[in-house]
Amino acid sequence: MSRKVILCRCEDVTLADIQHAVAAGYADLEEIKRYTGFGTGPCQGKECLREVALAIAAAGARQPETIAPFTTRPPLVPTELGLLAGRAAPAKRRAGT
């Protein structure tokens, strides 16, 4: 069985990736987001932010209470371009047509 521990499932960022980033001198969630790409996929960090913060603390880079979350970007949830444009999304093809 693989020992790989995935922390960010959207972007396939592993615990080892975070440890390497810390070893390279990056200790801030904003820096580590950019260095590894974690938190930039469809969940935008909702699943992985806490896990990565814990990994940074466990690697000894920061005290947990000094780790601030990265900037939250709009939109709050993934939103269809059609909705934002005021257009309906293309109608779903009905069976048999």
Partner 1 sequence: MAAQVTKSRPTGASLPADAEIAIIGAGVMGLALAYNLALLGVKRVVVLDGHYLAWGASGRNGGGVRQQWSTEMNIRLMQESVELCAGFARELGINVWMRRGGYLFLARTAAARARLEKNVALQNRCDVPTRLVRPEDARAIVPELDVEGFEAACYNATDGIVFPWPFLWGYARAAGRRGVSIHTGTPVTAIEGAAGAFLLHTPKGILRAARVVCASGAWSPEVSRLAGVALPDWPVRHEILSTEPLKPFLKPMVSVIESGLYFSQSLRGELVGGISMPEERGGARQIRLTSSLAFLQTMARAMTEIMPVLAAVKVVRQWAGPYDMSPDGNPIVGEAPDRPGFYVCCGFQGHGFMMAPVVARYYARALAGETPHAFFEAWRADRFTRSGPGPASGGERETMIIG
**Which residues of the shown chain bind partner 1 in the complex (CB under 8 A)?**
11-14, 17, 20-21, 23-25, 28, 30-31, 34-37, 40-42, 44, 73-75, 78-90
To 10 degrees, what angle do helices 29-36 and 15-23 make? Answer: 120
CB of 96 to partner 1, least distance (A): 21
C-alpha count within 13 angstroms, C-beta hemisphere, residue 47:
13
43 vs 54, which CB is nearer to partner 1?
43
20 vs 62, which CB is nearer to partner 1?
20
